[in-house]
Structure formats: C-alpha cells, structure tokens
Structure 1
Amino acid sequence: MTVCGPKSTPRPAPKERVLVIDDDASVGQCVESILETAGYRAVFSASGKAGLENLHKEAFDLVITDLKLPDITGLDVIGGVKEFDSDIPVILMTGYSSIESAIDALRRGAADYIIKPFRNDDFAFAIERAINERRMRKENAVLKRSLKKVYANKRIIGESESIRRVQTLIQKVAATDANVLIQGESGTGKELVAQAIHFSGHRADNPFMAVNCGAIPSDLLESELFGHVKGAFTGAVSASEGLIREAGSGTLFLDEISELPLNLQVKLLRVIQEKQVRPVGSSHSYLIDTRFLAASNRNLKVETEKGAFRADLFYRLNVVTILVPPLRERGDDIEVLAQHFLEQHCQKMGKRIRGIGEDLRSFLHEYDWPGNVRELDNLIERAVIFADSDVLTCSDLSDMLPLLTKVPLETGKPDRPLPIEEYIREFILLHQDSHSEMELASMLGIGRKALWTRRRRWELYRENAGPKDERAPTREKGAA
C-alpha cells in the first residue's frame, strides 16, 4: 500500500499546476497531499481521455498518470501529452510493474517510472526533479532569446564595400558547419563576426562559447578547453566538462588562437579531426558536435612559416578565411559608428547630445585609428562623459587629443604613414613612463593583455624596470 501520512504544513513554493490521472480515489488523495505539501496545485481526472481533454483546456507543468486506466492506458496518455506539448514532463505510476512497460514508458518520453506502493519522499523527489527540469528548459529558452536580443543590439554596422564583403561571407558560411578563421587587427570586431556566423546559422539555439587563448595561463588553458576529471591535478576537487563539451552542438570561438601553446595545438587538432575530446586525467573520450571558429590579429600563415603555429592546425581552421578590415579603411563607416556609439552611451548615461561637431567630425576622418572600432567606442564614451553641450566637439577631448595626434610628429617620420604595429610601438615608447597600463590600453583601444604581450615582444619596459618587474595582467575578457 502507498505510504501516506498526515498532511504537513504546505511550504510557499512556485505555483506550478499538476494534472493527475488515476481512477483510484485513495491514491488521488495521497498524491494531492504530497503535491499540496510541496506547494503545487493539482487537478484530477479519473480517466485518460478526460485528462487529455483537461490538458487542452488548461495549462499544466507536469502530468502524473497511472498505467491502468478505465479507457486508455498510461502509455497512450504519454503519447497524447507529448503530441500536445513535448516539453511537459510525464510521470507514470503502476502497481503492475515489468521491465518491458518501464522501457516502453521511457522510450515514449516519460520523465520517471514510479512503482506502487511508493514512499512519499521518493515520490516527492520525482515530482520536484521533473518540475525543476521543466523550469530549467524554460529558463534556457528565455536565456537564448535574451542572447539573441543582445546580439541584435551588437550587430555589424557599416555600409562600406569592405564591410559588405564581410557580411556576404558571413551569410554564406553561416549555413554550413565549416571551420572559419577570422583575421584582422586588434579592435576590428572579430568576435562580433563570429557571433554573426553563429546566430545566423542552424546552431543559433545552441550555446556560443568564447575563450581568449591569450588571457588564460597556459597551465590552466588545457583543462579550461578540454575539461578534467576529479583529482587530475592539484586543485581539481571536482570534475569539469571543459568549454568544448559545454558548447555542445553550438559554437566555440577561439580568440587569439595564435597564443595557444604548441602542445595544446596538437590536442586541439586531434579534437577537430576526430570529433572527440578526452578530459585531462581521463581514459575516456567523448563524441562532440561543436563548430570551431578561430580568430587572430596576426597573420597565421606567416606564423606557420616561422614555426610558431602548426601548419596542420592552420589548414584545419582555415577552411574559410574572413578578413575584417581596419577602421581606417572603412571610409564613411567611421562617422556611422561614431553616431551609433554616441546614441548608445547617451542612453546609458541619461544624457541628451544631438550630434557631433564639425571639428570632431574632421578629426574622426583624419585620425589613423590604431585601436580600430574599440578605440572609437572608447573615445566617444569619454567625450560623452565630459561633454558640456548638446554637441560633441574636440574640446570635450582636450586632455586626450594631443596624445593621439602628436605620435607621428615625434617619430621623426612625418612624411611616411606608419604601419599599425609600428605606430603602437612608438606610442608605447613615448608614453609608457607617464601613463598607467590601463590608460595606455584605453588610449590605444586594445586590451591590457594585448598591450602587455606587445611590450614583452618588443622589450619595451618602463624606466628602471626590467622583464621580471613587468607582470602579466590578470585574466580579462575579450582582449582582441
């Protein structure tokens, strides 16, 4: 007999509705007691057909049905529920258990299979688990919609010929599962291109995971990507799936792939080729269905020729290459983007600024933008903060413009346009002793990690400081 003691005080809980289908009144009373104690609302039906009719009239979050009913079977109820709404979980109860009926119920989509007589605690646990799974599916659906809205607000903006070519390539590759290599200078919007590919394709409802390979210490990057088992290394107190498995049937975006150590390049190549991943410390491999997108601000073909990047991995990633143009080559897009950032920051700060003055407009077109779109965004945000009128002018950036405009004059080469990396090098050399890391990175429109990497590569150290004194910044997100 089913164990059913006296009712306890109902707890405040979410008001999910549960449809109970059973022709046994005593079982119905017991189930009602368990549901009320857990805070759920119950509706009862004495037959399968009556229950399915109720399902079409009212909204329910869970269906509990007996296997033996006066008209149809509980298996028929499961089929009817799943045909109506496949997301509604169904728990099947029976006093006539068999392995065959249990397997059949689970194959048809039952969330659980409960044998009478049952213990109240076990039954309550099965109900709570089924309800929680439904809640999680709802939350995931809401989260996915929210992510799509966030992406829609961060769309690729511009009408220049170069950016239109990028948009055309995005539309062509989005419908495929091909690996894509996105190349371009720091701050050009490579991650935005990766998001556009993901959200325009058939994987859009699955996760988009991004990792900056240059922002995570190499000794942690392996477990971050591939996962690990409990006890695999010191500090591994619990198992981790890793980003590749977390991405599932979605997309993993590997930003700054050129920073990936050579030993991990070998392991990543194997994952891409075999569609399997083996966590650190495990002897078991897991099948994956993940799309890989990669980005770098370096020319990976050149890095391959120098031996700094594996040629086989390069060719695996380089099925399609998308070159994101630097801002200085996008013509009138500069002004369009500036206006977009102006409206965006005004909304955030609650300011009313109607436009950009002619002097600042001229500067926007004349400046070389070594930090590209990110630098433009930072500059407009700063101007909005210090603006005293309803029009942005150069006077709103009076403390910053001299630093931006005097670098080419002080290099002693005013007649020759500087390559972007040379410009950044000269800028760092001139201003690293008078500005903090944060200020330098902000003025250049690049991340602190990207700044630190360049200074180390070029051996540019502050006065009275050496390599050991210049420590890498802590992990940051999105340093392109």
Structure 2
Amino acid sequence: MNHSNLKIRARDERILVIDDDLGVGECIQCMLRIAGYESAFVTTAAAGLERAQSEAFDLVVSDLRLPDRSGIDVLRALREAGQDTPVILMTSYSSIESAIEALRTGATDYIIKPFNNDDFLYSVERALDEQRMRKENAMLKRSLKRVYSSRRIIGESEGILRVLDMIRRVAASDANVLIEGESGTGKELVAQAIHYASPRAEGPFVPINCGAIPAELLESELFGHAKGAYTGAVAASEGLIREASGGTLFLDEISELALNLQVKLLRVLQERQVRPLGSKHTYATDARFVAASNRDLKQAMEQGLFRADLYYRLNVITIHVPPLRERGRDVEILAQHFIEEHSRRLGKRITGMSPAMRDFLYSYHWPGNVRELENLIERSVILAEGSVLSLEDPPAKGTTAPAPGTAGEFLDRPLPVEEYMKEVVRRYQDSHSEMELAAMLGVGRKALWMRRRRWGLYRSGDSRREGTGKGDLKRSA
C-alpha cells in the first residue's frame, strides 16, 4: 500500500473499520486520517456491530473473513437492524461466488487485497457520495411532498387557517385523527397534508372509502385474507392495514363501516396487530390511522350505529373542515385557482370571471362544497368561448349548479344541509341525470340513491317506490 497523492482535507464523515489483521487495520486508519476522515477500528464482527449500534457511522469497511463471523454477516445484521449504512467488503481470498454474494446482499463495493491506496480512497469517496445523495434526495422528496400537500389546501379564511394550524401541530405525533366535515370540503387533502408533513412522509399513504365497498369485500380489503379463506381467494393478501405500515391509513366515510368490522378495527387500534381473514396468525402493524366522516359520529354513536369505544379511540384529535359557504372570500380564491389550473391543462387563456359570475359564487349555497366548485369551474372553462367566465356559459345555468333566480327562493333561505340537498333533488331530479344530480350535490351515485330512497323521492313515471323493488333507480331517458 503506497501513500502517494494523499491530500489532507477535513471531512465530517465517520468510518468504522473491521479487520482482524492489526497491521492492515492500522494502515487503513492512518490512510483515512491523512485523507481527513475520522475512523474507529475493531478486530471482530461482534465488536463492530456493537459500535455500529451505539455510535453513528457513515460507512463500514469490513474484511470478508473475521474470526467470529463473516463480513457478509455484519452487512446482514446491519440491514436487519434497519441501518442503511453503506458497507465496503475487503478480502485476500477472492472468488466470483463471494463477490456475487457480497453485492447481492447489498455491499457497496468489493475490494481485493492488497489494494492501491488511491483506488481504496476512491471507493470510500464514491460510497459516501452515494449515501449523501440518497439522503439529500429523500429530504428533497419529503420537502416537495410537504409543499405540494400544503399548497393544495387553499384559502385565507379563519376556518381554513385553523385547519392548517392543526395540521402543523398534530403532524409530528402518531395520534389518531378524526376529520369532520361535509362532503366535498377536502377531508382527504387534510389527511394527505398530515401524512406528508409527518415523519411518516416516506411511508405509504393508503386511502380507502368505507362507504364505497360492500361490507363482505371491505373486511378482506382492510384486514387481508389467507389463501383459500373464501371462494376465489387463490392467493393470500396482506390487506390495506398492513400495507400502510410505516405510513398512514386514511379511512374515509368511517361512519359507513359495519358494526362487526368496527369491532375488528378497534382490536387493531388497541393491539397494533391484525389477523387476516381465515388466518390463525396475527401480524404487527405500524400504521397511523386518520379517519373522516361527513356524518355526526357522536349522534351515530348515540343511535347505536357507531361503537362508542371506537369513536373515542379514533377521536384523539379532531379537525373540523368548514363548509365552503362559511369560508367567505375563499370561494373566489379557489375559483381563480381552478380557472388557472384547468386553463393551463386545457391550453386555454381564461383570465378571470365576470362580476355576475363572481356574485353568483358568493350567493350560492354550495351543498357540494369545494368539489362542486371545481366541477363548475372545469365545465365552464371547457365550454367558455371568451377569456372571461360568465353566467352565460352553460354550466352556470344548471348543468352543475342551479343558477340564481331558478332556485333563489330556497337558495337564500338558511336550511340544514340535508334539507337543502332534499330540496335540490326534488326540484331537479326530472331535468337532470343521476350523474348530474350527484355532481350537483357533491356525493356519489350510491349515496344519492340511498338518500332518495330515505326521502321517498322518485322521478316522474318511475313505478318503483319504497319497498317495491331492489336495485338502482332508472335513469331518465
């Protein structure tokens, strides 16, 4: 080993050297010190693993053959302990098989002794540079996710600023969060913002709508199933709870979860373990649970439709997302944002909206909240012929939302949201399709169908009435 071309330069990285040959180890330490690195030297795998677990090192350089374990064993033990520290393996007894095994196990490099000092230092520098780049990329990715998530929650109203403040305060913890708000207010955006602002940002964000999947399928989706657990289960599934481990599981429309599944979910929250359908084994999960509901869960609990113990387990932190009608100037800020977003996507040059359109935004009740507003703006941009959106554009005349005047007699009268939705359905069900009605109200077609059944509202000429038939309502021709 020659020491030519070595330059002394102060560095921040620490390197752990493991070699049972004292002479080689001391020579490597000297070379690293001259190159500006701080290092520690041990002669056994056990001593190396003990140092690596108790101290912070940026790189491990280990001999392949050690008196107690191999260098590959050291590498495996580090990975099993969750450490991603790069490892360079050295050996005097090279073989293709050992080199392949070392690299497959995750070694950063494989060096044959005796080696040239410059080549060795180049390998060290490359391993440290790659590790530094991985860390910087992870930090950049996390930063971009946080910026992206926080920017999507747009508004300046007092209510939305409270929401953003709550997101900032709860993100760092692992506490369960319950997000309350009407349909279309942006509850999933709040859940995403919590996730991406948390230490779990690099983990998965797994959303599931508990009201969109039949109960018999939802159990398998959430908890997983063993192979052969039921007809058609040709392979095992880990389920979304386990899939979200290390990240966040977002349970949207949690109020729609069947009571028997509420019991199973409660057990997971208490024990942090999940048992797949048809399996005798339980598996640990490290998912954070964020739930959302557009119904009053406390009222559902009092009615026996939602378990009290599950409610209190989920409701550690509550975030209330205000409806759009209570957000004042936010409706115009959001509308302008959607105009810019959809104009850019569609290649149009829409600069703003007419005064009449702006007045409409402020006077309309917005039962579908932000989702309905975006729907209206997108359609308006698509069909607009000029550079300014106006009430003359077809969407503002009823395709998405009733225009002022046609429903003004009840738009301006304060009504509970459910009563308002019922009135909209009563007035527009014969002139709009099921899809248009659902978009107008900011709900899914299944939710609309269930509400119409409950209210006893049917289209003219529809022979089906409450209790007279099953299945969906006919769409008007």
TM-score w.r.t. the length of structure 2 is: 0.72
Secondary structure of residue in 2 paired with 1:209: strand
Counterpart check, 1:71 vs 2:41: no
2:149 partner letter = Y
Looking at structure 1, the residues matched to 449 and 97 of structure 2 have their Cα atoms a distance apart, in angstroms, of: 57
1:128-167 mapped onto 2 (5 Å cutoff): 128=104, 130=106, 141=138, 147-148=145-146, 150-154=148-152, 156-167=153-164
**1:417 deviation in Å?**
2.6
307-316 or 435-444: bigger deviation: 435-444
Looking at structure 2, the residues matched to 417 and 408 of structure 1 have their Cα atoms a distance apart, in angstroms, of: 16
* Residues 98, 77 of structure 1: alpha-carbon distance in 2 compared, 3 angstrom cutoff: closer
1:71 partner letter = V
Per-residue CA distance 1:320-341 (angstroms, 9 max, x = gap)? 2211111001111111111111
Contact preservation (8 Å) 2:182, 2:294: yes
2:77 is aligned to 107
Looking at structure 1, the residues matched to 143 and 336 of structure 2 have their Cα atoms a distance apart, in angstroms, of: 27
1:14 is aligned to none
1:454 is aligned to 451
Looking at structure 2, the residues matched to 112 and 459 of structure 1 have their Cα atoms a distance apart, in angstroms, of: 73
2:360 is aligned to 363
Secondary structure of residue in 1 paired with 2:292: strand
Per-residue CA distance 1:413-450 (angstroms, 9 max, x = gap)? 67743322122222223333443332222222333343
1:1-400 mapped onto 2 (5 Å cutoff): 71-72=24-25, 85=58, 93-94=64-65, 103-109=73-79, 124=100, 127-128=103-104, 130=106, 141=138, 147-148=145-146, 150-154=148-152, 156-397=153-394, 400=397
**1:206 deviation in Å?**
2.2
Unpaired runs of at least 5, structure 1? 1-45, 58-64, 473-480
Per-residue CA distance 1:223-262 (angstroms, 9 max, x = gap)? 2111222222222222222111111122111110001010
2:300 partner letter = E
2:471 is aligned to 469
* Residues 350, 281 of structure 1: alpha-carbon distance in 2 compared, 3 angstrom cutoff: same
1:368-447 mapped onto 2 (5 Å cutoff): 368-397=365-394, 400-401=397-398, 404-405=401-402, 416-447=413-444
Secondary structure of residue in 1 paired with 2:249: strand
Per-residue CA distance 1:42-97 (angstroms, 9 max, x = gap)? xxxx89x99x99xx99xxxxxxx9998971379699999x97756x9x99744x78
**1:170 deviation in Å?**
2.0
1:20 is aligned to none
Looking at structure 1, the residues matched to 88 and 473 of structure 2 have their Cα atoms a distance apart, in angstroms, of: 55
Looking at structure 1, the residues matched to 193 and 358 of structure 2 have their Cα atoms a distance apart, in angstroms, of: 29
2:15 is aligned to none
Per-residue CA distance 1:88-112 (angstroms, 9 max, x = gap)? 9x99744x78657765453345889
1:42 is aligned to none
TM-score w.r.t. the length of structure 1 is: 0.72
Would you say how many aligned residue pairs link Structure 1 and Structure 2? Answer: 412
**1:409 deviation in Å?**
6.1
Contact preservation (8 Å) 1:258, 1:298: yes
* Residues 407, 272 of structure 1: alpha-carbon distance in 2 compared, 3 angstrom cutoff: farther
**1:458 deviation in Å?**
3.2
1:361 partner letter = R
Contact preservation (8 Å) 2:150, 2:193: no
Contact preservation (8 Å) 2:142, 2:196: no
* Residues 100, 396 of structure 1: alpha-carbon distance in 2 compared, 3 angstrom cutoff: same
Contact preservation (8 Å) 1:180, 1:321: yes
Looking at structure 1, the residues matched to 87 and 275 of structure 2 have their Cα atoms a distance apart, in angstroms, of: 30
Looking at structure 1, the residues matched to 102 and 201 of structure 2 have their Cα atoms a distance apart, in angstroms, of: 32
Looking at structure 1, the residues matched to 412 and 374 of structure 2 have their Cα atoms a distance apart, in angstroms, of: 28
* Residues 363, 426 of structure 1: alpha-carbon distance in 2 compared, 3 angstrom cutoff: same
1:107 partner letter = A
**1:283 deviation in Å?**
1.8
1:196 partner letter = A
* Residues 282, 115 of structure 1: alpha-carbon distance in 2 compared, 3 angstrom cutoff: farther
156-165 or 266-275: bigger deviation: 156-165
Secondary structure of residue in 2 paired with 1:369: coil
Looking at structure 1, the residues matched to 88 and 463 of structure 2 have their Cα atoms a distance apart, in angstroms, of: 69
1:228 partner letter = H
Looking at structure 2, the residues matched to 91 and 425 of structure 1 have their Cα atoms a distance apart, in angstroms, of: 72
How many percent identity over aligned positions? 53
2:119 is aligned to none
Looking at structure 2, the residues matched to 221 and 165 of structure 1 have their Cα atoms a distance apart, in angstroms, of: 33
Looking at structure 1, the residues matched to 418 and 94 of structure 2 have their Cα atoms a distance apart, in angstroms, of: 71
Contact preservation (8 Å) 1:187, 1:372: yes
* Residues 442, 311 of structure 1: alpha-carbon distance in 2 compared, 3 angstrom cutoff: same
